[in-house]
Amino acid sequence: MITRRHCSASTPAPGVAGRPATFACAGDVHGRHRELVTLLRCAEARLGRSVDFVLQAGDFEPIRHADDLRTMAAPARYRQLGDFPAVWAGELALPRPVYFIGGNHEPVGFLKQHPDGFTLCHNCTYLGRAFAGSIHGVRVCALSGIYHPEKFTEPLPPIDRRRQVSPKEYSYFRESHVEFLLDQPGADVLVLHEWPAEVIAESDAAEFERRRRSLRYDAVGNEWARLLIAHLRPALVIAGHLHHPYRVTIRPAGNDADSGGTLFAALNKVGNGPGALAVFALDAAGGVREVPLEPPEIT
């Protein structure tokens, strides 16, 4: 159940018009849809109940066939057909509704035809380049793609030119997508592919840089995503892209510094160890908590 909407002066504050919901969030899938289904079923078995839906943070790779693969925005060594043909054919069922955004490794020839999003098949919906709406009573905003300073103010190439331009051109979000989200009054959940800037605590810098081996901790992310958090004030932000699970609470600046903040949850890549799928509970007042999937240690 999904309702798309634009900014409205009568739109209530996050959580006020919603209902309690329990939902899963998944990191980059990269074509491993069978493993995604396994992770989801295992999570539900530990919970003892079903989740309402799944939000997925990009690099979902809904590649149906070889033609889609040829338009994939990724180096040749990463271009693999994956499991989505079985999903597309109805041979592999997604047990809960999955709502995904675009990352920087997607079959752009397919997704570019639907910039506002669409339902691909049963329980599988693309949210489009930028999304704001209600999903099962939860107010969700979403931004596909990653930031590129030289592409940000340029329009996306027309769909009829996709054979003349690099697929990477469609991997970057644009100023118009950010402006659309800045026109929204708020959200319970913000779904991103790329991390926002300034989310890694200095105390975590050494461990993070050891794992990443390339980026300084304070060079990760983009300021536009951070601006969206400040404006939308979501209870939860999820992101993928770096294949690194991480949690931190982002505190608002100024007079609202004691308001509780936003939980930022970065997710691992499916098939890359723990942390690729997490479960969250949103209460009717807009508060969010992560639901533990592992039994507590007995001491």
- Give residue 209's pLDDT: 74
> DSSP states of 35-98 as a string?
HHHHHHHHHHHHHTS--SEEEE-S------SHHHHHTBSS-GGG---TTHHHHHTTSS--SS-E
Query: pLDDT tens digit string along 191-240?
Result: 999 999 999 988 888 877 776 655 666 678 899 999 999 999 999 999 99
Query: pLDDT tens digit string along 68-82?
Result: 999 998 888 888 999
Residues 273-289 have a mean pLDDT of 94
Confidence of residue 298 (pLDDT cuts 50, 70, 90): low
- Under 8 Å between Cβ of 55 and 23: yes
Query: The pTM is what?
Result: 0.91
- Give residue 10's pLDDT: 34
Please say if the pLDDT value at position 52 is more than 60: yes
DSSP lists the bridge partners of residue 279 as 24, 291
Distance (Å, whole) CA 260 – CA 258: 6
Do strands 246-250 and 262-266 pair parallel, antiparallel, or not at all (unpaired)? antiparallel
C-alpha atoms less than 13 angstroms from C-alpha of 160 in its C-beta half-sphere: 0
Please say if the pLDDT value at position 295 is more than 70: no
- Give residue 199's pLDDT: 92
Distance (Å, whole) CA 188 – CA 288: 9
Q: Which residue, 184, 278, 176, is CA-closest to 230? A: 184
Q: Among 113-117, 210-214, 245-249, which is the least confidently predicted range?
A: 210-214
Sketch out the chain's domains with CATH numbers. 18-291 (3.60.21.10)
Sorted by sequence, the CB contacts under 8 Å of residue 235 that are 6+ apart come out as 14, 15, 188, 189, 262, 263, 282, 286, 287, 288
